[in-house]
Amino acid sequence: MLPGMPFVSKTFEPMLTPDQNTLLLQLTTKKGRREAERFIIEGEKFVRDAGKLVEFTFTPDDTPRFAEYVSTETPQAIAAVAHIPRWKIRDLQDRDVIVVLDGVQDPGNVGTILRACLGFGASLILVESAEVTNPKTVRSSASAMLRVPWMTVSRADAGQMITSLGRPIFRLELTDNAIDLPQMPVGPSVIIAGNEGAGITLPIPGTSVRIPIDAALESLNVGIATSLALYEQRRPRL
C-alpha cells in the first residue's frame, strides 16, 4: 500500500449460492443426507473417483464455512456434494461373497470393511450398522464406498432377504461347534459379522466360523476378522 492511501480490507466474496449453502448445512446431519440423497466428499482423488455422482465442488475460497461443512481437522483443498450411490440386489449378487454387518456401529470399522470388500471383490449388506455416508465412514473407506455394491436393509427384512440369496451362510462367531476359518468352503457365500459386544443377533441359521488366535488375545476387531475371512475366500486352496 502506498503512503497516504487509505487501508481497504479485502471482503470475502462467496461463490456458492444460498441454495448450495443450505444444502451443505443439511448434509452435515444423518437425516439431511438421507432426505437429500447426497453427501459430502473431500479430496481430489475422492472427487475424481465420484465422477458423474458429483453435483458441484467447492473450496475454502468459495465459502468461509468450509471447515464447518467438512469433517477433517486438516481439510483437503477441495470438497464436493455427490449423489449417494444406489445399488440393486443383482449388483450385490454379482460378487462371489456378500458380507452382512449386523449392528456394527463404529464408522471406522465399516469403512475398513468396505475397503476389504473392494480388495477381495465382495459386496456388502448393512443391518442396523453405521451409516455408509457418515463422514468418518466415508473417510475411512478411502472412496471404496463408491465402488463396492452396498445396501442398507432393515432388521425386519434382513432374514428373508439373506436366505433368499440361496448361498451358504457363514457366521463369524465363537460357538462350541464352530469350524476354524481355514476349513470354510470356498465359493459363492454370505459372511455375517456382528459387533464386538453383542456379536451376531440375526436369527439366520448358518455355519459358525472361528478365527484361531493366541489365547493372550480375547478377540479380533470386526474389521480385521472380516478382512481375514474375505482373504480366506480368495486364497487358493492347495
Tell me the pLDDT tens digit for each residue of 67-114: 889 876 666 789 999 999 999 999 999 999 999 999 999 999 999 999
pLDDT for 216 equals 83
* Phi-psi map region of 86: left, alpha, beta (phi>0 left; psi -120 to 50 alpha): beta
Domain coordinates of the chain in residue numbers? 18-83, 89-234
Separation between Cα atoms, residue 39 and residue 52, nearest integer Å = 14
pLDDT at 221 over 60: yes
Supply the DSSP symbol for 172. Answer: E
- Percent of the chain having pLDDT more than 90? 75
Fold of 89-234: Alpha/beta knot (3.40.1280)
pLDDT for 2 equals 45
Amino acid present at 61: D
Burial grade of 95 (CB within 10 A; 0-12, 13-18, 19 or more): middle
Q: What is the pTM of this model?
A: 0.88
Fold of 18-83: 60s Ribosomal Protein L30; Chain: A; (3.30.1330)
pLDDT for 74 equals 66
3-state helix, strand, coil in the chain (%, to 5): 35, 20, 45
